[in-house]
Structure 1
Amino acid sequence: MISKRKKGKKLNSISLGTVLNYTVLTIIVIICLYPFLNVVAYSLSSNRAVLSGKVTFLPIEFQIDAYKDIIHRGQIWISMRVTVLVTLLGTALGLILTIFAAYALSKDKLKGRKWISGLILFTMYFSGGIIPTFLVVKELGMFDQLTALYIPTAVSVFNFIVMRTFFRELPDSLEEAAYLDGASDVQILWKIVLPLSLPIIATIGLFYAVSYWNDYFNALIYIQSPEKFTLQLRLRSLLFADELGTAGSEGLGSQVMAESLKMACIVVGTIPILIVYPWLQKYFVKGVMLGAVKG
């Protein structure tokens, strides 16, 4: 009888905890989703609904005029292609350099490992500043070139530290067995370490991709040619009405349409990352060492 009461109390406590967790998570999800849903609703609402201030998280008097405007704006699609190219090149370069640096510096047998790691860590807290960096980029001939958007920021120290820590936690027995079989360091990295590192590679790759996709400051500093504008820089110019200068002379309706266009551009700039994330999510929840333990 006593045991049944204890089990009943335990089940009640678990149910209460579960309900509390779901309630808190639901509130957090609503807080995170509402701004995005509000932007989507503004981009799909009519001018009259936007003027009246009735739009919250659902479109009022549904229309897609803003998205039609985006489709007919060739400059936005050019900026989209530029952003995709920079994101792909920057992510690939960042992953390659981070993997090689983290793997090499995770080995105790590397001479000067602590000094090299210390120098890399130093750059995380101290830098030359914007003006010296700009002068270096300009002297290297990268000014107004797309290479200026991903080469100077090719490696993130934070991502390097995370990946180095992951490599250090891999069992040494796996590599020792490969050495006995005559494998080289490159073969061990390619055939053993990287297959076991898919979760961390996917995570770091997503960090790099999001960083390059959302970056506009470097483009603002280094890029002058309009045909090389990234999507975020083009969006910034839209938000500041650089490309909608005639709105003021066309009346209030045009100004509202400009607001809808801005919101539609925000949605277009956000959707690609939302599409990519689910494809990488499975690596986040996958057991990092599952394959090594079973092997």
Structure 2
Amino acid sequence: MFESRGEKAFVAGITALLLLLSFIALVPLLSVLSISFSSKGAVVQNLVSIWPKQFTLDSWRYIIERPDLWKSFFLTLGSTVIGTVLALLITALLAYPLSKKEFRWGSVVMIGVVIAMIFKAPIIPYFLTVRGIGLYNNPLVLIVPHILNPFNLIIMRSFFKEFPKELEEAAFLEGSGYFRMLFQFVLPLSKAVLATLALFYAVVIWNQFQTPLLFLQNVDWFPLQMKIRQFITDDNTILPGAASMVDFNFNERTLRSATVIFAIIPIIAVYPFLQKYFVKGAMIGSVKG
């Protein structure tokens, strides 16, 4: 398609602006990454900007050799995987009947879903409710409060409403019930919305901070974000002995930077594999309510 000179200039200007904004957004991340690979002397002298100075891996060796960090990492990884799978399952089981006109109470349920999405639960009733069902100081609190999100439910319901009715009718003629229809036909053909919502749920569970802060007192159950907070606020946790600062080429700042990067690597690594589904799933889910 032929583009005029003005259109080309507009596209070039927008592209340049987006590149500039992307670089600005990346500067803090690049700065933290550079500090994690820099020597303590360069960091103390404020020589590090977005490129490492006096490159060293000492900070990374130190945090990778810490068993408490790995324990928090695998606890967070396990809760993210299990929580995301359960969340997708429960969301699908609720969204599928809500997408059907045959479900009489669907409109009533959807009003409740919209209310739950707009009006968040006050913190004190939320705390008392979660504690009342036995999740206080229980690692299951990392999963259970996140297994259903109203916004994600609406996206999946909208996606299911666009599912070809002819395919469903053919499956019903062959004797399929609703459960078989959902698990054997609908979900295998819903990779776009499943990948999109999997990313939504996984990011929330992986990065959760308020929930474990409210409900977990046992440090053995601290997820990765709580462990990072412990590292940042307590020098005795990240550097147990003063001799460590003398014997190795790192300090509290380089270690904290390495820990922060360590925590975001998994999400950054997974996103490229889901990106092709992400835009499609989000767009389809936003077309109709």
Letter in 2 for 1:125: I
* Cross-structure match for 1:261: 255
In 2, the alpha carbon distance for the partners of 1:132 and 1:170 equals 39
Q: Secondary structure at the match of 2:19?
A: helix
Q: Which amino acid aligns with 1:143?
A: Y
2:273 is the alignment partner of 1:279: yes
- Please, what is the CA RMSD of the aligned residues? 2.7
Q: 5 Å matches for 1:210-249?
A: 210-241=203-234, 243-244=236-237
Pair 1:25-2:18 in alignment: yes
What is the identity percentage for the equivalent residue pairs of Structure 1 and Structure 2? 35
Counterpart AA for 1:70 = I
Give, as a single letter, the amino acid of the residue that structure 2 aligns with 1:88. Answer: V
Q: Give the C-alpha shift of residue 217 in structure 1.
A: 1.2
Q: Secondary structure at the match of 2:63?
A: helix
What amino acid is the match of 2:95? Answer: A
Instruction: Select the structure with the greater relative contact order (CA < 8 A; seq sep ≥ 6).
Output: 2
Q: 1:243 to 1:150 in 2, by over 3 A?
A: farther
Specify the SS of the correspondent of 2:251.
Answer: helix
Mapping of residues 1-295 of structure 1, within 5 Å: 10-241=3-234, 243-244=236-237, 257-284=251-278
Using the size of structure 2 for normalisation, the TM-score is: 0.88
> Which deviates further from its counterpart, 211-220 or 112-121?
112-121
Radius of gyration: which is bigger?
1
Cα deviation for residue 225 of structure 1 reads 1.4
CA drift at 1:84: 0.5
Secondary structure at 1:182's aligned position in 2? coil
CA distance in 2, matches of 1:228, 1:22: 45
Three-state SS of the structure 1 residue aligned to 2:171 is helix
Deviations 1:130-187 (A, max 9, x none): 2222222222222111111211221011111111111112232221222223221122
Asked if structure 1 preserves the Cα contact closer than 8 Å seen for 2:235 and 2:252, the reply is no
In the alignment, structure 1 segments of 5+ residues that lack a partner are: 1-6, 290-295
Cα distance change on mapping 1:242 and 1:226 into 2, 3 Å: farther
How far has the Cα of 1:230 moved from its partner?
0.3
- 1:259 aligned partner, one-letter code: R
Q: How many residues align structurally?
A: 282
Post-superposition offset of 1:118: 1.2
Q: Secondary structure at the match of 1:108?
A: coil
CA 1:15–1:121: 2 relative to 1, 3 Å: closer
- Is the 2:231–2:238 Cα contact (8 Å) retained in structure 1? no
1:220 is paired with a residue whose SS is helix
1:27 Cα shift?
Answer: 1.1
